[in-house]
């Protein structure tokens, strides 16, 4: 911008000098007057010896030559006319958007205005004697000084030739336009630094008969601001995160971050997500819409992203296939390139396989049924805390086991801390049955994710009969004519039937048989019970009731035979004391 400052002088009575500045506030009647520099300050103009007055446009001399070369003088209280061809600049930091609404939460802060540089102030003073004799030349001292802290550029002093002047006698320094010296004089000083000043000595001869000469000197300078606007394309960056691995059927979260990394707003931002057709989709960030009803494509309308602002979009995916789960992100926006991002997640599937091998069919008496459990990780995910169990059927006992197995009431349990995909481990154990019959032996495995697998086998155990017997004669002493009881109890403690069990009792001559239970065959003095079959864990009781007939030590002899007694019959005897008479 430019500004003219002018001074006015009068001969005969007083010197009138006034200063007009580009900044209207500095010369407004309502503003405080600028303080004069102190005479003691070096390099500053001395104060004016005369009063300062305000000059109206009517008092200014008309300038009829080269008016278009100089701008209109802006007087205090007047506003400059706006130029319709110039748009007012927004002085903000380079590359930042102009002030507007605050961005959404999480976006970049509103730009801060930048302070303008200081404006220069150039002052002009004109000195001349207030009175002069006719025929004497008038000597003007014109001084211009930059009294501000900013550079003033293209400083020019213009002094139109007053109407009462006949000729210019001297100008030091020489003016720039000698061809127009009859109209006005112009000096160009270029740039005045803060505190710099220039002095012009001008001598002019008044016309004869002139009573008063009014001289008006102007100063003009330029001051401007330069701002730079970089023309940038919107720049959007997209980042995507998803787990590298997941488990089949388990939900995982995908996070998409869209950020404006440029210096201008990105408008009409649209995020499109393509998800595997077989996977289940659940939006976390509101605003998701399905692009096509038959597809698994979704989009969010983000709108405008200010520079530095970011938008986070999250959603959940539940894969239904044990394969790679792929999600593709496309970001569209006005005046920018399509941005893409991809995430691949391996969907791992847990799996366990159990194979039980060993004895089937018939297992003979006193033989051990042997089994092996093989546990294999059939999935693509490591299995942890695998619990392997082999059952112990009823009436069976373990006879051996692989080290590490814990025996409980009805099972043997091993633990595998970690089983990698494809790896396998085996465990062995043996069983014996106490009774005959079919048994089911089962094996199972369960890991920390509750993945299970099982297998089983059926086996028939052939048990062994184990016979024991007890005899009792009560009371141990009887009188002639009294009755007593001889009892035999046979027990089968084995796991198989005891076949062809027979019991024989030899009665002494000193007693007579009253009755036998169960019914027995009597041959002379011998009672024969059976043969009979006693089931596993079963028993049979034989009772002989007798009557004492004569005093003596009577001996009862018993013998037991059975198929299981391959080494011969079992025999025993009991003695009862019979006294001479009844008691």
- Decide if 10 contacts 59 (C-beta within 8 A): no
b/e string for 438-466 if b means 16 or more Cβ within 10 A? ebebbbbbbbeeebebebebebbbbbbbb
Global pTM? 0.51
pLDDT in tens, the chain (583 residues): 444 444 433 333 223 233 333 333 333 333 344 444 433 333 444 444 433 434 444 444 444 444 444 444 444 444 445 544 433 433 333 444 444 444 444 444 556 677 888 899 999 999 999 999 998 999 999 999 999 999 999 999 999 999 999 999 999 999 997 777 778 999 999 999 999 999 999 999 999 999 999 999 999 999 888 888 888 889 999 999 999 999 988 999 999 999 999 999 999 999 999 999 889 999 999 999 999 878 899 999 999 999 999 999 999 999 998 889 999 999 999 988 899 999 999 999 999 999 999 999 888 877 899 999 999 999 999 999 999 999 999 989 999 999 999 999 999 999 999 999 999 999 999 999 877 889 999 999 999 999 999 999 999 988 788 899 999 998 989 999 999 999 999 999 877 788 999 999 999 999 999 999 999 999 888 999 989 999 888 999 999 999 999 999 999 999 999 998 988 999 999 999 989 865 4
Cα–Cα distance measured from residue 24 to residue 3, given in angstroms and rounded to the nearest whole number: 11
Using DSSP, state whether 16 is helix, strand or coil: coil
By CB neighbour count within 10 A (0-12 exposed, 13-18 middle, 19+ buried), where does 85 fall?
Answer: exposed
**Sequential DSSP letters for 504-542:** EEEPPTTEEEEEEES--EEETTEEEEEEEEE-TT-EEEE
Closest to 310 (Cα-Cα) out of 108, 111, 109: 108
Cα–Cα distance measured from residue 112 to residue 93, given in angstroms and rounded to the nearest whole number: 7
pLDDT score recorded for residue 111:
61
Q: Tell me the two tokens of residue 309.
A: 């602002």
Domains of the chain and any CATH numbers:
2-81+119-222 (2.60.40.1170), 236-348 (2.60.40.10), 358-461 (2.60.40.2310), 467-579 (2.60.40.10)
Q: Tell me the two tokens of residue 424.
A: 């396998």
- Decide if 250 contacts 335 (C-beta within 8 A): no
**Sequential DSSP letters for 417-465:** EEE-TT-EEEEEEEEEESS-EEEEEEEEEE-TT--EEEEEEEEEE----
């Amino acid at each position: 911008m430019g500004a003219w400052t002018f001074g006015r002088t009068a001969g005969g009575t007083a010197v009138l000098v006034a200063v007009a500045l580009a900044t209207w506030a500095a010369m407004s009647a309502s503003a405080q007057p600028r303080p004069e520099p102190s005479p003691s300050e070096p390099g500053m103009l001395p104060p004016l010896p005369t009063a300062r007055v305000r000059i109206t446009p009517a008092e200014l001399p008309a300038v009829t030559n080269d008016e278009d070369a100089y701008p209109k003088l802006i007087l205090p209280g007047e506003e400059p006319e706006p130029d319709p061809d110039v748009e007012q600049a927004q002085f903000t930091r380079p590359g930042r958007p102009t002030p507007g609404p605050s961005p959404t939460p999480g976006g970049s802060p509103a730009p801060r205005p930048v302070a303008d540089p200081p404006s220069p102030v150039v002052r002009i003073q004109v000195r001349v004697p207030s009175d002069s004799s006719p025929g004497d030349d008038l000597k003007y001292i014109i001084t211009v000084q930059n009294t501000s802290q900013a550079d003033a550029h293209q400083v020019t002093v213009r002094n139109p030739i007053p109407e009462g002047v006949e000729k210019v006698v001297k100008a030091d320094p020489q003016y720039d336009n000698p061809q127009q010296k009859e109209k006005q004089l112009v000096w160009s000083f270029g740039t005045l630094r803060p505190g710099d000043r220039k002095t012009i000595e001008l001598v002019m001869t008044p016309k004869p008969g002139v009573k008063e000469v009014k001289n008006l000197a102007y100063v003009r300078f330029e001051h401007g601001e330069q701002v730079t606007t970089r023309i940038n394309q919107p720049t959007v960056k997209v980042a995507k995160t998803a787990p590298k691995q997941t488990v089949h059927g388990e939900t995982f979260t995908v996070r998409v971050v869209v950020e404006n990394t440029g210096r201008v707003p990105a408008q009409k931002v649209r995020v499109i997500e393509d998800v595997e057709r077989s996977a289940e989709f659940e939006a976390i960030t509101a605003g998701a819409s399905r692009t096509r009803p038959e597809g698994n494509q979704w989009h969010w309308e983000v709108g405008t992203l200010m520079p530095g602002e970011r938008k986070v979009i999250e959603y959940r995916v539940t894969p239904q296939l044990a394969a790679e789960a792929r999600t593709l992100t496309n970001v569209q926006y006005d005046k920018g390139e399509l941005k893409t991002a991809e995430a691949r997640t391996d969907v791992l599937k847990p799996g366990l396989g159990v194979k039980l091998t060993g004895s089937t069919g018939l297992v003979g008496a006193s033989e051990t049924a042997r089994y092996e459990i093989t546990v294999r990780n059939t999935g693509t995910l490591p299995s942890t805390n695998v619990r392997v169990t082999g059952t112990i059927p009823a009436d069976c006992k373990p006879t051996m086991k692989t080290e590490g197995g814990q025996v409980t009431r009805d099972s043997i349990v091993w633990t595998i801390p970690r089983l990698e995909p494809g790896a396998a481990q085996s465990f062995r154990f043996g069983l014996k049955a106490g009774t005959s019959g079919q048994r089911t032996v089962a094996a199972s495995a369960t890991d920390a994710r509750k993945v299970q697998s099982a297998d089983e086998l059926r086996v028939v155990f052939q048990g062994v009969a184990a016979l024991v017997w007890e005899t009792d004669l009560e009371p141990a002493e009887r009188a002639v004519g009294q009755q007593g009881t001889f009892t035999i109890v046979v027990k089968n403690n084995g796991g198989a039937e005891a076949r062809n069990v027979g019991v024989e009792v030899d009665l002494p001559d000193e007693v007579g048989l009253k009755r036998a239970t169960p019914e027995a065959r009597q041959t002379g003095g011998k009672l024969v019970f059976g043969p009979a079959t006693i089931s596993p864990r079963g028993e049979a009781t034989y009772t002989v009731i007798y009557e004492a007939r004569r005093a003596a030590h009577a001996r009862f002899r018993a013998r037991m035979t059975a198929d299981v007694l391959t080494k011969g019959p079992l025999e025993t005897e009991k003695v009862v004391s019979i006294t001479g008479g009844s008691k």
